[in-house]
Amino acid sequence: MNDLTSARAAVATRRCRDALILALFGATLALPAGAGQTASPATTQAARANPHADQAMLLGATRAGSRLVAVGDHGTIILSDDGGKTFRQARQVPVRAMLNAVSFADAKHGWAVGHRGVILATTDGGETWTLQRQDLDKDQPLFSVLFTDAQHGWACGLWSLLLRTDDGGKTWQNVSLPVPPGAKRADRNLYSLFADAKGGLFIAAEQGRVVHSRDGGASWDYLDTGYKGSLWAGIALEDGSLLVGGLRGALYRSEDGGGHWAPLKVDSLSSITAFSVGAGGQVMASALDGVSLLSTDGGRQFSATQRPDRQPLTALIAGGAGKPPVLFSKAGVLQGL
């Protein structure tokens, strides 16, 4: 391992520890890119059948039409067709790697990403998955994936890794980001992709920055929220407002496409991990320490609720009218707030 790789690994490790990011993305996040690790045979084998898959560590969740899909540890992918009351395991997942995020373009076409640069795809609503990409030479994890339709998608991860596809994931191309202001290279971790209704693309990232594209990913720049810590999650609301959240309960809102950001006061210091919009425009967020946030005014004010068990919440899917959210955690699916 050369000095540059060692230095970058040390920086990445400190960031991970400071952010408690290991609680979300697993112990291999801080492994240095290009260090020449070989993949464990377990990561390249198919996921095992697990009668208690809904109790595995789950890190990402989304809707596929009316179906709920969640992904997590050891290639776990679970599905629910009854609003989250019960889950079953996907029939076929070709890897045992940690999966961090999942995105569906419609009820049938979805993608999941994770460690070893893994990208999986499904065309049957998550029942079976195929491997589109992996990198066995280095563990540069992918933390987020976003498809705006069944052909056009992006995935992002460690040390400014950004990939795009224009053919449904048959091929993936590396995207070179510009150097952030005041930095010498683009080496920031990219945590959460999201898009607005006008075609704007956003990535919640480190040092309070949001990576932004106005032209469908052809070029990118940096938006400064005024925050200096890591941003783990972001969402664009129906009215065009943007929300990003991260370390120690940091929560920022923009009403002009990211040009200006205002901090929102939240009665919680728990780090925010995900956002979801429910019935009637309610906005919810999950956080560590068993905290969930709720806004009933379009994301302008949030109230905090903490679970007695304080399980770290990693993702959530807001419920329909009168229905509670479905919460996901290191201990799997959780019922109730």
Residue 47 neighbours by CB under 8 Å, 6+ apart: 74, 75, 76, 77, 90, 93, 94, 95, 96
CB atoms within 10 A of CB 309: 9
Sequential DSSP letters for 95-119: --S-EEEEEESSSS-EEEEEGGG-E
CA 54 to chain centre: 19
Q: Residue 21: pLDDT above 90?
A: no
Q: Residue 278: pLDDT above 60?
A: yes
Reported as a single tens digit per residue, the pLDDT across 39-94 is 555 567 999 999 999 999 999 999 999 999 999 999 999 999 999 999 999 999 99
* Nearest 10 degrees: Cα torsion 71, 32, 154, 123: -40
Task: Give the C-alpha distances (Å, rounded to integers) separating 185 from 137, 176, 177.
Answer: 22, 11, 9
DSSP designation for 247 = G
Share of the chain above pLDDT 70, in %: 86
pTM value is 0.89
The SS3 call for residue 42 is helix
Per mean pLDDT, which range of 13-17, 220-224, 316-320, 326-330 is the poorest? 13-17
In one-letter notation, the amino acid at residue 25 is F
Domains and CATH numbers, the chain: 56-334 (2.130.10.10)
Instruction: Tell me what the mean pLDDT of segment 179-188 comes to.
Output: 87
Q: Per-residue confidence at 18, pLDDT binned at 50, 70, 90?
A: very low
Reported as a single tens digit per residue, the pLDDT across 122-134 is 999 999 999 999 9
CA distance 77 to 89: 6
Q: Per-residue confidence at 215, pLDDT binned at 50, 70, 90?
A: very high
Share of the chain above pLDDT 90, in %: 79
Q: Residue 320: pLDDT above 90?
A: no
> What tokens does 28 get?
């291999």
Per mean pLDDT, which range of 28-42, 105-119, 224-238, 280-294 is the poorest? 28-42
